[in-house]
Amino acid sequence: MSDLTHGAREHTGQAPASMRLDTQALREAAEHLDDGAVTPSFGPHRDQIVSLLNDALATELVCILRYKRHHYTASGIASPAVAEEFMVHAQEETEHADLLAERIAQLGGEPDFNPSTLLARSHAEYNEATDLQQMIRANLIAERVAIESYRQMIEIVRDIDPTTRGILETILKDEEEHADELADWLER
């Protein structure tokens, strides 16, 4: 028996059960059109995923506010270049918030932009530092917290929601780049 055929099944004309689509799930997907992209096979996890995403949304919104404050209040010899990067980060965090809000709505949830609960739901803290080094440090801490929270969320949704996982992985990549830039500035 050659290596190519060793362990191969005899061809019967039928795909193994694991390679067949669940026709019952396909029929169910054609029902409940008001659910949009959320089909019955999504399982019971939708509300929990929406909650995770709303906490991530709160984190992004707090980061936007922190970065913008730092952008407008940074002072010192290195401040113009760093302040400009703070604004770039704020804009990228806005893009993240938009991705999260869009996914929450796609899952049939409601994006929570309530300002009175943002800090309580955020994984990162707001910071009113006035010293440029303290600003950089506060933003680096927030980025590291965001990185860890996104890694954990990716693990949670890994096998149950590949679309959300992809969004979180995209955001994680940006947060890692932010942390690298901030760490470089802190060393200068």
pTM, 2 dp: 0.82
Q: Which of 15-24, 80-89, 100-109, 151-160 has the lowest mean pLDDT?
A: 15-24
pLDDT in tens, 27-67: 877 777 777 776 666 677 899 999 999 999 999 999 999 99
CA dist., res. 157 & res. 168, Å (int): 9
Domain locations along the chain: 44-187
Does 32 or 109 have the greater pLDDT score? Answer: 109
Residues 6+ apart with CB under 8 A from 150: 56, 168, 171, 172, 175
In the CATH scheme, what is the homologous superfamily, with its name and number, of domain 44-187? Answer: Ferritin, core subunit, four-helix bundle (1.20.1260.10)
pLDDT score recorded for residue 30: 78
